[in-house]
Chain A
Amino acid sequence: MFSEAVAGASSRRGFLARTGRAILAVAGGGFVLEAMRAQKAEAFHFCGHIYTTGSCPHPTGLPRVDANGFPLRAVDGHAVDDLGRPIDKLGRPVDARGHVLIDPDGNPLPPAPRSRVCQKTGHEFGFHGQIDGAWYRCCGGHVRKLIDCCGYTRTRINGDAALTGYCYSGRHVFCVMYYDTKITC
């Protein structure tokens, strides 16, 4: 797709990737190229992520968030609380059909805490987590915003040295998240 091609061509690692592929094409031919294409798809743990920094801790696993940084269930984009339960707009837990769960007295079951993924991560790991910058890729036919969770930290969630990435003012990337937009690509 054009947008994906543009995104790939304009990325910071695009030049190196193209150069590497060209060298490999010369040296190893089509077989190596095919292997490289496959690796491109499978090298990192979610689409659009182009480095090894791990996911931010998320109630359901894959670090999908909404536009405000709150957790969404990756499989269907449903809002979830910190317990991983699907919830309505008021934070009340709902069943699989979207009905608000109610107790035997007829009251909705209580809301559980729902935290912004990056801020909660910072709280858990002892720094102030914030979002500085982001980059975009085409994933599954929609533009995906890939977000660094930044903080004044020397290590990243993997346990090794943190990098600057899309963080500013001396902050480093601690972990990564993503937001799936509705914009097709």
Chain B
Amino acid sequence: MVGTVRAARHPRTAGAAFAAGLALGAGVVFVALGAIGAAVSGHAVVLVALAVGAVAVASDALGLRVRPQIRFQVPEPWRREMPVSRALFLYGLLLGTGLTTYVPATAAWALPALSLALGNVRLSVAIALGFAAGRALPVLVLAARGGERVLAERPRGQRLLRVLVAASLLLALLAGTVQAAGTIASPAGDPSVEGANLAWQQPGVGGFLRQNGTTAQLPGNNPAIGATFVAWHNGPQLTVADRASLTPLTVDSVPGVQTIAVSRSWLAYRTPTEIHVRPVAETGPGTTVVKVKSPAQLGRPALGVDLVVFHRATSEASWITAVNIRSGKRLQLRYSQDALLLNPSLDGGQVLYVKEARCSQQLRIGRLGGGGDHLLYEIGPLAGQDLGHERHHTSQGEHLPCPFKPRVTKKMLWTTALSPTTAYVTVLTPGNGGHTIPTLLAVARR
């Protein structure tokens, strides 16, 4: 390939055609993998991708022979039968797919697996461009500096490249694992987000608002932000204020108010057993959206354009429900008789919610209408399992709830907030006397 580029009458044009073909070929394959991953993403896919990545890191770091290899070569006659630039573009297209010719590093095999696991088209495009650059640069550099002979006579260069590739891949894997959830504040919980601005509650202290890079305490509790507003409450006194100046717009008394949501047009609040909605500029109790009897519970309300969503949990099942505030029409977004569905939030037609299942706790995101929810973050379940059989008895006939030994945690995923780039979730850690301590985490939205 280096020789073909060097032999072209205009090597730069030929090199650009080769790079463009590589980018296009890689883009098609990796974007397709990302789209498939979005449909099938799950715990198993991520584990497989991590395993493949780990093998690739070890293989490249130790300089093991790259396996598997593809023997299929690009068609040699093309460079004689058509203009060189067109031939190079087509060569790039084939090489970009990753389905032809020798690969010099095992990391090349980790990239499709990672793309599948990420399940994100934008990230897949980034992977494709990285892959294309990795294949194009050696060819272009060697074409400019003296051909393959340079590399063939200095095998240490390739060895060094493989070590660098292994290090890059390892860093990417570690970063992906660590960045899975970053702590925003602790103790802190019940996030509310509008663009890049974030509000939360610090238990026993009050509400905080972070906007334009500055964090300030608010004169109240359980703050919520939306459009240009911020709302908080002091006991029953509920205040809606301008977010920039914190100048109160409305102040009234709402007995029992615990949590609030605010949008451009509406304000929703929850008491221990009810959720109410009213126009944001008005005062008074507003319209009762839903009412339950203890021990059934309602979650924190979240607002869309004209929608209020919330969870309802009982000993029979749990629901995430959306109510059209203008028409009163109800829509059951999610329902489970097995798991606990909690604390939804909305952004751009997507719903983020917590699913406490028997074998894991998950932060999930999906379309309002349902179907194809993605896993954003996952921790272990809240309870372990026994042996499945009694002591001094065989395991024949036992039936364990989880297919793998669960990594039990006392931490519980709780309230959520969703921005165009980030998902926020409160994690509750049990303390003394049944009390829980919240920690606010941010998870990159895929």
Q: Say whether, besides A45-B390, A83-B383, A84-B382, A59 and B397 are in contact (CB < 8 Å).
A: no
**Once the chains are docked, how many angstroms separate the CA of A95 from the CA of B430?**
8
A49 to chain B, nearest CB (A): 7
Which of A9-17, A18-26, A99-107, A129-137 makes up part of the contact surface? A99-107
A51 to chain B, nearest CB (A): 9
**Once the chains are docked, how many angstroms separate the CA of A110 from the CA of B438?**
16
Set A107, A113, A123: member contacting B297, Cβ < 8 A:
A107
**Is the C-beta of A46 less than 8 angstroms from some C-beta in chain B?**
yes
Q: Are B392 and A95 in contact (CB under 8 A)?
A: no
**Is the C-beta of A43 less than 8 angstroms from some C-beta in chain B?**
yes
Set B313, B386, B401, B437: member contacting A112, Cβ < 8 A:
B313
Which residue of A is nearest B434, CB measured? Answer: A99
Interface residues on B, range: 35 or more
B341 to chain A, nearest CB (A): 10
Q: Are A83 and B357 in contact (CB under 8 A)?
A: yes
- Interface secondary structure of B, over-half rule: loop
Q: Are B383 and A80 in contact (CB under 8 A)?
A: yes
**Is the C-beta of B358 less than 8 angstroms from some C-beta in chain A?**
yes
A83-B340, A113-B339 known, 17 other contacts, Cβ within 8 Å? A41-B393, A42-B392, A43-B394, A45-B394, A45-B395, A55-B398, A55-B399, A57-B399, A60-B383, A60-B401, A83-B381, A99-B433, A103-B436, A104-B189, A104-B203, A112-B315, A115-B337
Could you list 24 examples of A-B contacts with CB < 8 Å?
Answer: A42-B394, A44-B393, A44-B394, A45-B394, A46-B389, A52-B396, A53-B397, A55-B398, A61-B400, A62-B390, A82-B339, A83-B340, A84-B383, A92-B295, A101-B430, A104-B201, A108-B295, A109-B412, A110-B313, A112-B339, A113-B317, A113-B340, A120-B338, A158-B397
Q: Which residues of chain A have a CB within 8 Å of any CB of chain B? A: 41-47, 49, 52-63, 73-75, 80-86, 90-95, 99-105, 107-115, 120, 123, 157-158, 175-176
Q: Are B258 and A105 in contact (CB under 8 A)?
A: yes
Q: Which residues of chain B have a CB within 8 Å of any CB of chain A? A: 187, 189-190, 201, 203, 222, 258-259, 272, 294-297, 299, 311, 313-318, 336-340, 342, 356-358, 381-390, 392-401, 412, 414, 428, 430, 433-438
Which residue of B is nearest A82, CB measured? Answer: B338
**Once the chains are docked, how many angstroms separate the CA of A29 from the CA of B78?**
86
B318 to chain A, nearest CB (A): 7
**Once the chains are docked, how many angstroms separate the CA of A86 from the CA of B339?**
15
Q: Are A90 and B295 in contact (CB under 8 A)?
A: yes
A99 to chain B, nearest CB (A): 3
Q: Say whether, besides A83-B356, A113-B318, A45 and B382 are in contact (CB < 8 Å).
A: no
Residues of A within 8 A of B435 (CB): 102
**Once the chains are docked, how many angstroms separate the CA of A85 from the CA of B340?**
12
**Once the chains are docked, how many angstroms separate the CA of A176 from the CA of B296?**
31
Q: Are B434 and A94 in contact (CB under 8 A)?
A: yes
**Once the chains are docked, how many angstroms separate the CA of A55 from the CA of B237?**
55
Set B356, B358, B397: member contacting A55, Cβ < 8 A:
B397
**Once the chains are docked, how many angstroms separate the CA of A80 from the CA of B382?**
11
Residues of A within 8 A of B190 (CB): 104-105
Set B318, B337, B381, B433: member contacting A123, Cβ < 8 A:
B337
Q: Say whether, besides A104-B428, A107-B297, A112-B340, A62 and B381 are in contact (CB < 8 Å).
A: no
Residues of B within 8 A of A63 (CB): 399
Q: Are A59 and B383 in contact (CB under 8 A)?
A: yes
A87 to chain B, nearest CB (A): 9
Q: Are B295 and A62 in contact (CB under 8 A)?
A: no
B439 to chain A, nearest CB (A): 11
